[in-house]
Amino acid sequence: MVTRLYSHPIYLEHLTPPGHPERPDRLRAVERVLEDEKFSYLDRVQAPEGDPATILYAHPQPFVDKVRAAIPAEGIHKVDSDTSVSPRSWQAAITAIGAANAAVDDVFSGAADNVFVASRPPGHHAEKTTAMGFCLFNNAAIAARHAQKAHGAERVAIVDWDVHHGNGTQDIFWDDPSVLYCSTHQMPLYPGTGALNETGVGNIVNAPLAPRTGSDIFREAFGTRVLPAIEDFAPDLIIISAGFDAHHRDPLAEINLVEDDFDWATGQLMESASRHANSRLVSLLEGGYDLHGLAFSVAAHVGRLMRG
């Protein structure tokens, strides 16, 4: 297996207020753990700058203009109570999109079997016209549309195991049967969406989990709701919205997963991808706010991507 890793120093320059959980140290912790010798075969590539026109795959131009206009010349500007931009945020966001789209290109060209993108800001809360939940633009949604437009993918599955529901991705694909969105998430929890009865045009599969859910119930939900939906859908590409805040150490939620659960879920999706999608699998970092839980969960996830 060739597993590619995209990163870029610009991702450290998207700044959030002091004490904010979505902070540059998250990526420093990820980079540190991936320096271990067992990741020496990772194909490390600096993320390319994205094409701003691809943002329009998921967001209308006036919204893009509004986000860009909110970027301050200095300091930090809040776009909502918990989402902010700093002078280099546009460049970070466009490079997160660049990496997500390049990852899609890589798995279709065969340059890599699978790809992990260690970027920020995250994306899954960004709705068509709303930046929220630490997210400016929806990286996973843009990458899914890029696969359709540039590579002729007919069906793309986005699997979101971040502990928060990806309201943004659900919003963008709500009436689009060419994209399957499956999410496991804690409920009740921010942002409040993700109930079982939110099904779009049959392309949305939500698996809400009660607080204090552990490995067994998570794996059951993943195995009985997410995996069969992917099996029926037979995607040409699987994109993972890979948040690691369902880890038991995470301060923002009360789900009790361990590193091995992310290894397991990764393996399940690799099997699905090998059956339907010529193994094409792209994983994009979303949340994860305990530095130890995040780093070791990423290590388990990427280790599985490399191992096959």
Contact between 247 and Zn ion by CB under 5 A: the answer reads no
Which residue's CB is nearer to Zn ion, number 155 or number 247?
247
**Per-residue b/e over 280-294, b at no fewer than 16 CB within 10 Å?**
bbbbbbbbbbbbebb
Q: Per-residue contact track with Zn ion, 42 to 81, x per CB under 5 A?
A: ----------------------------------------
C-beta neighbour count of 66 within 10 angstroms: 14
Type and span of the H or E element at 10: none
Is 125 an active-site residue?
A: yes
Question: How many residues bind Zn ion, per CB under 5 A?
Answer: 5
Contact flag: residue 123 with Zn ion (CB under 5 A): no
Residue, CB closest to Zn ion: 287
Per-residue HEC secondary structure of 246-302 comes to CECCCCCCCCEECHHHHHHHHHHHHHHHHHHCCCCEEEEECCCCCHHHHHHHHHHHH
- 245 forms part of the interface with Zn ion (CB under 5 A): yes
Tokens of residue 13, six digits: 């320059």
In the bound complex, what is the minimum distance in angstroms from residue 42's beta carbon to Zn ion?
A: 24
Q: Burial letters for 240-262: b for 16+ Cβ neighbours within 10 Å, e otherwise?
A: bbbbbbbbbbbebbebbbbbebb
Q: Which is nearer to Zn ion, 98 or 243 (CB)?
A: 243
Which region among 15-23, 79-87, 149-157, 241-249 touches Zn ion (by CB under 5 A)?
241-249
Instruction: Mark residues 269-288: x for contact with Zn ion by CB under 5 A, - for none.
Output: ------------------x-
Binding of Zn ion by 243 (CB under 5 A): yes
Among 125, 185, 276, 301, the one annotated catalytic: 125
Nearest-approach distance from CB 244 to Zn ion, in angstroms: 9
| Beta carbon nearer to Zn ion, 15 or 246 | 246
Shortest gap between Cβ of 186 and Zn ion (angstroms)? 9
Least distance in angstroms from the C-beta of 208 to Zn ion? 14
Which CB sits closer to Zn ion, 138 or 148?
138
**Residue 115: its H or E element:** strand 114-117
- Binding flags for Zn ion, 155-194, as an x/- string (CB under 5 A): -------x-x------------------------------
Q: Is 221 exposed, middle or buried (0-12, 13-18, 19+ CB in 10 A)?
A: middle
Report yes or no: 138 and 58 within 8 Å, Cβ to Cβ: yes
> Which burial class, exposed, middle or buried, applies to 52 when counting CB atoms under 10 A from its CB (0-12, 13-18, 19+)?
middle
Of 16-24, 138-146, 154-162, 275-283, the segment contacting Zn ion by CB under 5 A is 154-162
Closer of 98 and 287 to Zn ion (Cβ): 287
Q: Is the peptide bond before 208 cis (omega within 30 degrees of 0)?
A: no
The CA distance from 216 to 64, in Å, is 41
Place of tokens 């200095």: 74
Nearer to Zn ion, 106 or 261 (CB): 261
Nearest distance from C-beta of residue 286 to Zn ion, angstroms: 6
Q: What is the DSSP string of 143-188?
A: HHHHHHHHH--S-EEEEE-SSS--HHHHHHTTT-TTEEEEEEEESS
Least distance CB 236 / Zn ion (angstroms): 27
**Which residues are catalytically annotated?**
125
For Zn ion, the binding residues (CB under 5 A) are 162, 164, 243, 245, 287
